[in-house]
């Protein structure tokens, strides 16, 4: 029985030793091996043999691209405006031993580095430039952190600005400013419209006055020619004139008599004499 127990213990020990000496590394990962507490090697994907009890797997590091979300933070621009900014970084670990031994926690370190660099870059820009220059911020941010994280065996593939917006207080101020600007433009447009309308109205009145003056001149010239022709026609014969004036007089009296406020109409006893008197007065 004692021999059987020893054989069983030996078999178990062999199996454990083989298990500890064989490492299957999955695709997309690398294992960092320490020998007696010191870095020894990095295992690539596939079947790997290590020395049992002496070599140990200290770290398991992924070689896939890491999507690192950068938390939102408040950033103050050069013109003292407060904006909320966050980003996302795409990383790839090319040297696992540098990543695990070069910094305590490379995830936290990169997050802090991106946040600090983002604050520094945006702090040198005005609000309007920061809101409209994402590509420039992205390029500066990538250049600022690529060299630093390369010392940790990490490559920054790209970094994107997810969101960059003014704070709620700044949004309220910007909305009020935009409303005031729209009101100012509306007032200017209204004033310009009123000015144009007033100019057009004045031009219209001026043109109408010119036309009225020209019409009066034409009427006066026509009246003058008519009087000259009548004078030349009648010469010393006053009867046609008396007839015409009498006809006009009768028509005027008829219109007066039909008016609503006409009460009494006085007619001269001798219309021809009255007409002659009028002609005599005109002649003088």
What does the pLDDT look like over 175-212, one tens digit per residue?
677 777 778 888 888 888 888 888 888 888 888 888 88
Considering the domain architecture, whether residues 119 and 72 belong to the same structural domain is answered as: yes
User: Is the distance from CB of 147 to CB of 104 less than 8 angstroms?
Assistant: no
**How many domains does the chain divide into?**
4
The reply to whether 218 and 247 lie within a common domain is: no
Residues 22 and 101 in one domain: no
Q: Could you say which residues of the chain have pLDDT below 70?
A: 1, 170-171, 173-175, 226-227, 230-249, 252-253, 256-284
One domain for residues 75 and 130: yes
Q: Flag whether 185 is in a domain.
A: no
Q: Is residue 117 part of a domain?
A: yes
Provide the pLDDT for residue 179: 74
Whether residue 184 lies inside any domain: the answer is no
Partners of 84 in the β-ladder:
74, 165
Q: What is the dihedral of CA 20, 23, 26, 28, to 10 degrees?
A: 110
Same domain? For 9 and 94 the reply is no
Please indicate, yes or no, whether residues 119 and 35 belong to a single structural domain of this protein: no
- Note whether residue 6 is domain-resident: yes
Q: Is the pTM of this model over 0.75?
A: no
Instruction: Determine the structural domain holding residue 16 and report its residue range.
Output: 2-61
Q: Do residue 71 and residue 168 come from a single domain?
A: yes
Would 182 be classed as within a structural domain?
no
């Amino acid at each position: 029985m004692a021999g059987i127990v020893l054989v069983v213990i030996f078999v178990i020990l062999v199996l454990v030793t083989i298990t500890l000496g064989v490492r299957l590394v999955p695709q997309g990962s690398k294992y960092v091996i320490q020998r007696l507490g010191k870095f020894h090697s990095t295992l690539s994907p596939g079947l790997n043999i290590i020395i049992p009890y002496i070599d140990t797997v200290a770290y398991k590091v992924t070689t896939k691209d890491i999507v690192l979300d950068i938390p939102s933070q408040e950033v103050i621009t050069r013109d003292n405006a407060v904006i909320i900014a966050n980003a996302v970084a795409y990383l790839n670990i090319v040297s696992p031993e540098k990543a695990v031994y070069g910094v305590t926690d490379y995830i936290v370190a990169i997050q802090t580095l991106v946040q600090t660099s983002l604050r520094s870059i945006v702090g040198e820009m005005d609000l309007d430039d920061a809101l409209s220059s994402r590509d420039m911020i992205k390029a500066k941010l990538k250049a600022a952190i690529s060299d630093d994280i390369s010392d940790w065996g990490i490559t920054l593939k790209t970094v994107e600005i997810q969101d960059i917006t003014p704070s709620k207080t700044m949004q309220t101020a910007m909305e009020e400013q935009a409303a005031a600007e729209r009101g100012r433009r509306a007032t200017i447009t209204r004033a310009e419209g009123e000015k144009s309308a007033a100019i057009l109205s004045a031009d219209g009145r001026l043109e109408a006055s010119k036309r009225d003056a020209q019409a009066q001149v034409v009427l006066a010239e026509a009246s003058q020619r008519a009087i000259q022709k009548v004078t030349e026609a009648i010469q010393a014969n006053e009867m046609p004139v008396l007839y015409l004036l009498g006809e006009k007089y009768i028509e005027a009296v008829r219109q007066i008599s039909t008016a609503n406020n006409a009460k009494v109409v006085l007619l001269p006893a001798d219309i021809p004499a009255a007409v002659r008197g009028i002609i005599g007065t005109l002649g003088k």
